[in-house]
Amino acid sequence: MSNNIQKRQKVIRQTVRQYRRQLTCEQQNSAADKITHLALAHEIIRSASHLGLFLSFDGEINTNPLIKNLWAQNKKVYLPVLHPFSRYQLLFLNYRPDTLLIKNRFNIAEPTLNVMDVIPITQLDVLFVPLVAFDKQGQRLGMGGGFYDRLLSDWHKKHFYPIGLAHDCQLVDKIPTAPWDIPLPEIITPSKRWRII
């Protein structure tokens, strides 16, 4: 990736993360409720049984209301855990109300690793994807670690449907991309569902 692209991405990350951090608790709660409503009305989510989510960090959309509603519908929820041996890889573990959470090396809450709770990524029906910024072409900019980029490569073949979750303030004109970047087919914000494909 060229230095120019990396520099532009860095500026977008810094700017949008600052926007996100400036949201009040009331704005965050309202956004979480609106996204929960839109997500639960989504036909793919309604028919899904196994859903990968994430716990919010650094001003991301609060996913707790969505998770609680999915549990109430007897759907299984899975959270990402840093793979203990493979760098830049994530495992997804079953997340229940009584699951013990610990902080990983990025200070993000994740379930304690138990191989009995791991689900192969190919068995997820839906994968909700965190992001720092997105554009109307479905391109996403993450935190820069590449964890979700690896998951999203060939997502059609893995049989899950990826959906980005974001605040409206995370929409930018254009995400600088490299040839290998994979757009999301859909992003849900508090104001609407952005269908790309």
Sequence-separated (6 or more) residues with CB below 8 Å from residue 176: 4, 5, 8, 9, 12
Helices of type H across the chain? 3-21, 25-40, 43-47, 64-72, 147-152, 155-158
Which residue ranges make up the annotated binding site for substrate? 55, 60
Which residue ranges make up the annotated binding site? 55, 60, 140-148
d(CA 17, CA 160): 28
Which residue ranges make up the annotated binding site for ATP? 140-148
d(CA 95, CA 118): 10
d(CA 170, CA 194): 13
